[in-house]
A and B are shown apart, each in its own frame.
Chain A
Amino acid sequence: MNVDSIRDGIVIDHISAGSAMKLYHLLGLDSLDVPVAMIINAVSAKRGRKDIIKIDADIPVDLDVIGYVDPGATVNIIREGRLQEKKQIGMPETLVNVLRCKNPRCISSCEQELDQIFRLSDRASKEYRCVWCETRAADL
C-alpha cells in the first residue's frame, strides 16, 4: 500500500499496532481540517507490526500525549519534503488536560477551570494518578 510523502508536516512512526486510532482522538486530529493518513498494521522490521500517522500540515502536536499512548513512538518533523528533526518520545512525568478523572468524588469534577493533571506514579507499570484525588488512570 502506498501513501504519498508529505512536504511540510509530521510523521508519527513506530506506534504500537492498534494504538493509532486512540492517538488520533487524543491528539484532537479528528477536529482539525488538515489531511491525515493513518497506516494500520504496517510491516515493521523492529516490531513486526506498527501503526503510522502522517499529518500533512505544520501543526503543533502534544508530545506528552504521544508519550502517554506509546513511549516508543517517534516523531519526524518534515520540512520541504525532507526530514528536519526526529524526536524520541518517552513517558511524560505529567499529563495536563489529556485525560479526565472520572472519579465522581474528585474536586476536578466540579471546580471551575481546574486543570486535569495526572502524574506518572509508577514507570514500570505505566501507571498515572490524578494529582487531586490520586485515582489511577487505569481505573478510569
Chain B
Amino acid sequence: MNQRSIIDVPDLSPDEINSLMDTAEDIISHPDAYADACHRKKLATLFFEPSTRTRLSFEAAMYELGGNVISVTDALSSSAAKGESVADTVKTVSCYADIIAMRHPKEGAAAVAARNASVPVINAGDGGHCHPTQTLADLLTIRREKGRLNNLTIGLCGDLKFGRTVHSLINAMSRYDGLKFVLVSPEELKLPSYVKNEALKSRNVAYEQTTDLMEVIGSLDILYMTRVQRERFFNEEDYLRLRDSYILTPEKLKHAREDLSVMHPLPRVNEISVAVDEDPRACYFKQVLNGKYMRMALMLMLLGLKRKEDC
C-alpha cells in the first residue's frame, strides 16, 4: 500500500473521525470554501456490484469539491468480467485517477485494492464485510440529531446477522461512553457472537437482545432499522420468510419518544412504512445527505487538501 486507504472504520482514530465530522459541518456551513478544493483531481468509482446511492454520493461529493469523476458502473462490461484481478484493475486505474472508491461483491476486495493501488482507496462496500462511509454518515447524523455521540440508547432492528452497516456502527459507536445497544431481530438474524464479543463484551458496553420491537421502542433515543438483504442469502425461502419480520409504522411510532431519531441505511424495501417519512423523527434521508458531506470530508483528508481560507 503506497497511500493511506480506508477499508474499515477502525482505520480512522476517534480524533480523525471527529475531525472529519467537523470538516463535514464546515462544508455544510461554508460550501463555497470547498467548491474548488479538488480542482484537477479525479475520482475513479469502481462499482462491481449494483449501487445507486453510494456511487452517486461519491460522484456528487467529488463534483461539489470541484473535481472530476471517471467511472466503472457495470461489472458486466468491465475488465473484471474478462477475468482481470482486482490487483491489476486498481494498478491500472491508479494511472488515471487520484483516488478510488470501490464496491465489490467479494469480502476483502477493498483490502486487496488498497495493497495494490498507488492512490488512496476508499471501500464503498465489499460484500457483507465493511461499508465505512455509511458508518461515517451514520455518526454524523447521530451527532447532528442528538448533539452528542455518548449517553444514548440505540436500538438496532432487523437483520443484525448479515447487516454490515450494523456491525460497523456498533464497532464505531462502542468507542463512546454511556451507550446502551438494544438488539432487535428474529432468532435467525441475531448479531453474530464475534461482533458481540469484540465490540460489546470486551469494552463493557451495555446491551440487551430481544425479538419484540414494541417491548423496547419507548426506551430508545435512536432506532436504526435495516433491510433484510436478498443478496446475503443462499436460500430464497429463508429470505422470503424473514423479509417482513419488522415493519415500522406510524402506529408503532406512537409508543416511541418524541425525540426519537429513526435511521436506515437505505434502500428500504418495506421495513419502514412510507407514511413514517412525514414524521419529524424520520432521519434516513438526512443520513443520505450527511453521507455525501462525510465522503467529501474523507476525500479531502486522503488527498491532503483543505478549504479556501478566505470564504
Contacts and interface: CB of A to CB of B under 8 A. Distances in A.
Interface of A: 103, 105-112, 114, 130-136
Given A111-B112, A133-B107, 18 more contacts: A105-B106, A105-B127, A106-B108, A107-B104, A107-B107, A108-B108, A111-B86, A111-B109, A114-B87, A130-B108, A131-B108, A132-B111, A132-B112, A133-B106, A133-B127, A134-B129, A135-B107, A136-B194
Contacts of A135: 107
B85 A103 contact: no
Given A112-B85, A133-B129, A134-B129, A107 B109 contact: yes
A127 B256 CA distance: 41
A132 B113 CA distance: 11
Interface of B: 85-87, 104-109, 111-112, 126-129, 194
Interface centre among A105, A107, A134 (most CB of B within 10 A): A107
Contacts of B105: 105
Contacts of A114: 85, 87, 112
Contacts of B108: 106-108, 130-134
Nearest to A132: B108
A105 B105 CA distance: 8
A111 B194 contact: no
Contacts of A111: 85-87, 106, 109, 112
A108 B85 CA distance: 11
Nearest to B87: A111
Given A111-B85, A111-B86, A106 B107 contact: yes
A130 B129 CA distance: 12
B111 A110 contact: no
A105 B49 CA distance: 13
Contacts of B194: 136
Given A105-B127, A105-B128, A136-B194, A131 B111 contact: yes
A25 to B, nearest CB: 26
Contact of B106 (A109, A134, A136): A109
A114 B116 CA distance: 11
A131 B129 CA distance: 12
Contacts of B104: 107
Contacts of B112: 107, 111, 114, 132
A115 to B, nearest CB: 10
Contacts of A108: 108
Most buried by A among B87, B106, B111: B106
Contacts of B129: 133-134
A36 B2 CA distance: 45
Contacts of A105: 105-107, 127-128
A132 B128 CA distance: 12
A81 to B, nearest CB: 47
A108 to B, nearest CB: 7
Contacts of A103: 107
A140 B54 CA distance: 32
